[in-house]
Structure 1
């Protein structure tokens, strides 16, 4: 069969290289843990398949023919490439490179993760990230992605998971919008304002949908509905109205003003998960550690906000 022939050809080339390097069937056999006669048979078979003589045989040993020199040059290049690859595999225990497929929600990916990735690339410039932003939960065990950051605990089997933080959906607006439209003091005061949120029927975390549904039931006079939180954020930043947004944004957008501090959604857990088989992957470990560092920084900022502004709690 063709596959069997390919394996045998490589085996013959490996033996040829050892013989050419050692200059002796006996010495090559010692390196390869083969008998001299087995090595000799393989060399004869290779010469027969190529239709040429690869060695001049002398009493003092073997000398490569012109054709043998050409083949030895080729096998030497192959060996160098294999050695380099083996070294890179070993070195990957200290370095990080190659492709990493990451999936998370559109909101978290665009508003929190992507703005921080420059730090990760500074640390690992050879990393190639394929970031898939969607609400659909990709199948990690089937390797649709290597790492997932989801707004609920993954229920797939054979996953390593870590809870990153809990978030809540809250109300935010710009000082410019509030200066023009006024600061609401109660839920009833929201009526004349424009509410920016996701339609409760669109895919999103259930706590956010519940909060939006409750607010929409307050006889809001004007609304802007966007099918992801990035769009909601853009509306808020451009003074369109009061938006329902995740609280982790307060660290990156300190100019936003929290509206009705007593109104917020229930807690939404955020998990990082990856397949058990990738436990030893340096790429996965590097990404996980980076995200954990950034989450710790976020927590410190949120703690500082709570100390300086008790209404932010």
Structure 2
């Protein structure tokens, strides 16, 4: 292998292919066409003198030599990203780009209004709000600010509890008129439920719903709270939703004191960016603009 023929772009391509498993997927990440990605991979393998990937029906799989290269490539990426974060964190002007990541309904109903106000107040800042179930990586600078439902466990992440989300049991007015809410102590027989899909069965509100109404029929499951809210408005059944979301969709909340457990929202950003003026300004603005609890 001739080390002089390798550069950071080669390593980025290698890592993108290893993660995506296809040239097309890697090309989307790096904004390359599939033929260009393939040509560059062939040149990289020629420079290394070994095959880094095995072509299979399931996609590109790392060879033993590729696995050995992966560890070093990841270390190079970590160092490069650390330098990028440090340089980004040294800026003085409230200007530049910021990417935020959160769940769909939270981005829509909670973050969009204050983010819009911030962008209007700071015209030199471009805010990209990614509403996605998959939260983006702070380490790889896929996002500068992430909102999620549990504390961050990495020591290099600066975090704070952002707000508390209250939940309620909701149904469409027509459903309540036709069926009412289950009577206290009822097992839910004769009712339908709209709830999170099976990968979220450990969530406290899912357990609350199942314990309270063990004989209710599950009509619809989804990993999207907004999908659940829309289904409930169409009369699909009873749904545990954030209070703000249920109210926004015009649903009726069950009266009484037996309410589903709430959840805290945490915000986090990489410690290398803690002196970045535009990020500090946005965090301060959001903390001052969003109610606690919601």
- Show the counterpart of 2:286: 291
- Show the counterpart of 2:267: 272
1:240-279 alignment runs, 5 A limit? 240-249=236-245, 253=248, 255-259=250-254, 261-279=256-274
Larger helix proportion of the pair: 1
Q: Residue 116 of structure 1: CA displacement?
A: 4.7
Asked if the contact 1:185/1:260 (under 8 Å) is kept, the reply is no
Asked if the contact 1:198/1:212 (under 8 Å) is kept, the reply is no
Q: Name the SS for the 1:190 alignment partner.
A: coil
Asked if the contact 1:171/1:263 (under 8 Å) is kept, the reply is no
TM-score (structure 1 length as normaliser)? 0.56
- Show the counterpart of 2:157: 159
What's the CA shift string for 1:125-177, capped at 9, x where partnerless? 34322333344454323323211111001011212111112224321123333
The structure whose Rg is larger is 1
1:1-313 alignment runs, 5 A limit? 92=93, 96-114=94-112, 116-188=114-186, 190-199=188-197, 201-203=198-200, 206-215=203-212, 218-221=214-217, 223-249=219-245, 253=248, 255-259=250-254, 261-296=256-291, 299=293
5+ residue gaps, structure 2: 1-90
Asked if the contact 2:119/2:127 (under 8 Å) is kept, the reply is no
Moved over 6 A (4+): none
Q: Residue 211 of structure 1: CA displacement?
A: 2.6
* CA-atom RMSD in angstroms: 2.8
Higher RCO, Cα 8 Å, sep 6+: 2
Q: Name the SS for the 1:202 alignment partner.
A: helix
What's the CA shift string for 1:171-194, capped at 9, x where partnerless? 112333312322333252632222
Equivalent-residue separation in structure 1 for 2:113 and 2:192 (angstroms): 28
TM-score (structure 2 length as normaliser)? 0.59
5+ residue gaps, structure 1: 1-88, 303-313
Asked if the contact 1:107/1:230 (under 8 Å) is kept, the reply is yes
Asked if the contact 2:164/2:264 (under 8 Å) is kept, the reply is yes
